[in-house]
Each structure stands twice: as structure tokens, then as C-alpha cells.
Amino acid sequence: MIGPDPSYNGQSKIYRKQQPTGEMLNGAAVITEEVLDVGSLLSHYGQETYSGVIEASGVAFTIEQDAAAGCDVTIQLTDGAGNALANVPADLDVILSDSAVGVGITATAPSVSTTLKASGGTLLQTYSANKAFYVQTNASGQITLVINDAAHTGYYVAVIGLPVPFVSRQLVAGDYK
């Protein structure tokens, strides 16, 4: 049965109700109803879709030394269950920030460059040289930045354009080659 739980009687309870027979979408059970407190009912879906296409709702960051020089930051789109998403292009703002919450563009540009790795997405526009970009994901749902900075600056990489902003951990000297 889809809809409110007929046993809900105003008592304090917290429960999650699944789609009939534990319906799955992109490998995750779809939650259709969540009761949080007395009289409060929140309806939502674990996997947001639009016309049957699963929408990106998060990102996962992978930070590592680049093979040639600098630091690679790979941004992978994820669905509501944290699974990697592919073949769903997304146009996102990617910003180097000095803030752990991604507010504002960094005051200090990398000393050498910030580029997209080959096949690491499509650069649509540069807002601020080496600091802020408008980028489309590749077919794997990824964007890979190469940050080449001799000072090994501790940037945060912010991704804006999904339901909420996502910010990487702070880069450290060991992340750069």
C-alpha cells in the first residue's frame, strides 16, 4: 500500500515505510514515507527521478597526486543512496575556496594553473582564472580538476548547482606532486 500508514494514531513514533515489496531504484530501496514526530509527516523519495531518470543529489570527492604535476580532484556525481551516477550530464559551478563551507572564491589563485584533466568533463566557462569554473560532467558523471600550485595551498573545492553545495576536505601539501 502506498500512502499514510493507517496505524498512525498521533503517538510519537519514528519509522520508515518502503515501497511495496521493497521496490529498488539504482540499487537502493525507495523510501516513500517517513514519520519523524507527533503529527509531523514527511514524504520524500530516497532516489529522486524526473521522467524516470535518476537525478544527482550529491558528489563524492577523490583527491590524489597528479601523475605529472599538481593535485587531481575528481568529483563523482552520486544518487540519493550514494551510488555513482553515469550518463546523466550535469552543469556545475566548481570553485576553489578558502572556506570549509565553500563560501566565496579563494583570494589566492594557484601559482601555475587549474585545468580539467583530459576527458575530465567539459569546460563551459571560466568565471575567475584558475579559481572558478562552469563545467559539465563527462559520461561517467565525473569532473576532474588538476590544480598545479607550487605553494601547495590548502584549498577547498566547492561544487555548486545540486540541491545543496558540496565541499571537499581541505587539500594538504601531500596531495600535490
Whole-angstrom distance, CA of residue 167 vs CA of residue 46: 22
pTM: 0.75
- pLDDT of 115 reads 96
Residue 21 has pLDDT above 60, yes or no: no
- Cα 18 to Cα 3, 23, 25, 53, 78, distances in angstroms: 10, 7, 12, 20, 21
Domains recognised in the chain with CATH numbers: 15-47 (no CATH), 56-175 (2.60.40.10)
User: What are the tens digits of pLDDT across the range 89-116?
Assistant: 899 999 999 999 999 999 999 999 999 9
Q: How confident is the model at residue 38 (pLDDT cuts 50, 70, 90)?
A: very low
